Structure 1
Amino acid sequence: MHQPTALASDALALLKRLIATPSFSREEEQTAALIADFFRDRHVPIERVKNNIWAKNRHFDPAKPTILLNSHHDTVRPNKSYTLDPFSPIERDGKLFGLGSNDAGGCLVSLLATFIYFYDRPGMSHNLVMAATAEEEISGRDGLELILPDLPPISFALVGEPTEMQLAIAEKGLLVLDCTAHGVSGHAARDEGDNAIYKAIQDINWLTTYQFPRVSPTLGPIKLSVTMINAGTQHNVVPDTCTFTIDVRVTEQYTLEEVIATIREHIKADVKPRSIRLTPSSIPADHLIVQAGIALGRHTYGSPTTSDQAVLSCPSLKCGPGHSARSHSADEFIYLREIGEGVEGYIQMLEQVL
């Protein structure tokens, strides 16, 4: 039997190797190889499609329900405010610094260690599948979504993202809408044309004040934000088009299609969704895995950020070591103790289910 303390040490060593290996979204080949080696060194057969690696527990039984353990190994690009080398795993003051240390390297290696802990155990009530996936940071189609058809049916998923090991039982979905307001071009010096910017302003004013009536008990209201706008070609020409983009964080109270329909009903601009893939996700508060976390003193909450949960159709819980506020920050870090707490916390939760 693998001991949690030794597994946490192995997890930390792997995390340092991952930090030292650039793995921007769509460029994760080298970290995928490191993860594949981690499995092979422990005699665990793997499957790989593109930069996604997954494995099943030794005594996998198709007649049993399956739990998916999932986190990602891609990172964003380091921002310009870094004072440390983002690819140098530096230990200092009880912290491990490095790009991807917190989001989501700490979660990933803790889940990998947890999977190894249970890998050889016979007689479990559930199967385990561990998937280390790509392209999460860009919501790409060649990450978890790509391999879902190859995985066995999933009863529920434990998705590793930094939550301080608290229990995110709901997560907002993401809808990005590209809008175009139409006017008529004319000369700015004369009373000509129909200014598309003014039409866009009317639409944007509605968007800043409208509230969807149904409010989620865990996630709160739907949030609409206009985040980009563009119009005009030169100072003396009334623009005939004005484009703007809406970032919509959707709760489980509405389908993405319902949100689009409501916005189209109230604004004059053309509305084109970029995709309707990233749906809200949740897991019942009385679910076994949630109750297991609560029994360990964890609390539940709704998460405003989007993760790979968005492409899962099964119940899913977001939980992991690290702090969400450190994600994508300069000199990103995770506390060394958080790795051990992650491994121990995941094991303790799953022990109550398996």
Structure 2
Amino acid sequence: MMNPLASQSIDLLKALIAIPSFSKEESKTAAVIRDYLSENGIKAKRHLNNVWAKNKHFDATKPTILLNSHHDTVRPSTAYSRDPFNPDIANGKLYGLGSNDAGGALSSLIATFIHFYEQKKLNYNLLLAITAEEEISGNNGIGSLFKKLPPIKFGIVGEPTQMQMAIAEKGLMVLDCLAKGESGHTARNEGQNAICIASGDIEWLQFYNFKKESEFLGPIKMTPAIIKGGTKHNVVPDHCSFTVDVRTTDAYTNEETLAIIQHYLISEVTPRSTRLQPSFIAEDHPIVSAGKAIGLKTFGSPTLSDQALLPVPSIKIGPGKSARSHTADEFIYLDEIAKGIHTYITLLIQIL
């Protein structure tokens, strides 16, 4: 038998699965979440498609913990054998788009917030933020909301981690690179081949080792992903463009990583953005120590989340399994949600 808090959370998640909520199209699920909080006696606010609320006895003199997850989803894979918007339960699994990423964490964090909402004399305030556009790292998600919130001490970001603590997360930069040469006829010894310049730079990207390496995330990973150059077989190409996916670590900021790459590459290097920063929280931070005290393990996460946009320390933790995210016939086990709520509450009791 599920406890009432878990049962209510599953009902909420079923309601959310039934409503398409692709990134930038989350208006209807934002309304459902706000109404659900209102039905539980919580006055919630909404900014764009982001919904947030403070605990009943919020005290501005106390530090505040952010409880954050997202309600947007990717579009369903064409390989689905089930209706992605039908919250079907079979063999202890709840199926549906967004059930695992990040519906299980979202509903469990809301349940956790409800559990503590009316409690007095807490050491910290709690602030719940269920946000939009996480899947595309959009400008109208947590980044747009954060500046409207009271000061935050640290955050708990709900993502499927099998209820273990990610205390470091890789960041991301996408680099557009342009190698410039000089055109000429391929039959004569003239011109400067831009493809050759690009090839040399790509070789450097493949084999360069940064001096510093993250303890939890390992080396920075640079992957050339797209290349375009040349127009005719008898013309030496005067330009060659290529795109590089860079997964950064807490050993360097994105800006520091970019500066090193620009120093060594002959090609012009232009980042699309440096805003998706790597993150790290100290192992002796109170929330990490609290997790270890109840037997949680720590790890470094290679996948991106809203942690990249939070300007405060945070851990990433939630029910579900990362490998199920964005897959056909996505699901979460019902008992994972119940365990998620219990673990979140047990974790926060250690410091509240």
* SS of residue matched to 1:125: coil
Instruction: Give how far 1:296 is off.
Output: 2.0
Aligned to 1:119: 117
Q: Which residue of 2 aligns with 1:338?
A: 336
The alignment-based identity, stated in percent, is 59
Correspondence 1:193-342 to 2 at 5 A: 193-342=191-340
Deviations, residues 179-233 of structure 1 (Å, cap 9, x unaligned): 1111223444555533222211110001000010111111111111111222234
Residue deviations 1:109-162, cap 9 Å, x none? 100110011111111111000000001111111100001111111111000011
Written as runs of structure 1 = structure 2, the 5 A alignment for 1:42-53 is 42-53=40-51
Amino acid at match of 1:227: A
Name the SS of the counterpart of 1:33 in structure 2: helix
Normalised by the length of structure 1, the TM-score is: 0.96
Q: Which residue identity is paired with 1:99?
A: L
- State the partner residue of 1:39: 37
Bigger drift between 232-241 and 125-134 goes to 232-241
Q: Structure 1 stretch 191-200 or stretch 271-280: which is displaced more?
A: 191-200
Alignment size in residue pairs: 351
Q: Structure 1 residues 191 and 20 mapped into 2: Cα distance closer, same or farther (>3 Å)?
A: farther
Equivalent residue of 1:150, what SS? Answer: coil
Residues 278-334 of structure 1: per-residue CA shift (max 9 Å, x gap): 111121112221122212221111111111111112110000001111111111111
Q: 1:193 to 1:107 in 2, by over 3 A?
A: same
Between 84-93 and 339-348, the greater mean CA deviation after superposition: 84-93
Q: Which string of whole-angstrom CA distances, capped at 9 and with x for unpartnered residues, describes residues 45-91 of structure 1? A: 11111100000000001001000000001111112221111111121
Looking at structure 2, the residues matched to 240 and 139 of structure 1 have their Cα atoms a distance apart, in angstroms, of: 35
Query: Are 1:155 and 2:153 matched, yes or no?
Result: yes
Whichever residue aligns with residue 20 of structure 1, its letter is A
User: Structure 1, unaligned stretches of length 5 or more?
Assistant: none
- Within a 5 Å distance, the mapping from 1:146-185 to structure 2 comes to 146-185=144-183
CA distance in 1 between counterparts of 2:6 and 2:87 reads 16
Alignment partners' CA distance in 1, 2:101 and 2:18: 14
Partner residue in 1 for 2:27: 29
Q: Give RMSD over aligned pairs.
A: 1.4
Q: How does 1:60-71 map to 2 (within 5 A)?
A: 60-71=58-69
Which of 139, 142, 145 matches 1:144?
Answer: 142
SS in 2 for 1:128: strand
Unaligned segments of structure 2, at least 5 residues: none
Q: Partner of 2:10 in structure 1? A: 12
Task: Name the amino acid aligned to 2:59.
Answer: D
Question: Taking structure 2 as the reference length, what is the TM-score of the superposition?
Answer: 0.96
State which of 341, 346, 349 in structure 2 corresponds to 1:348: 346
Question: How far apart, in 2, do the equivalents of 1:287 and 1:90 lie?
Answer: 40
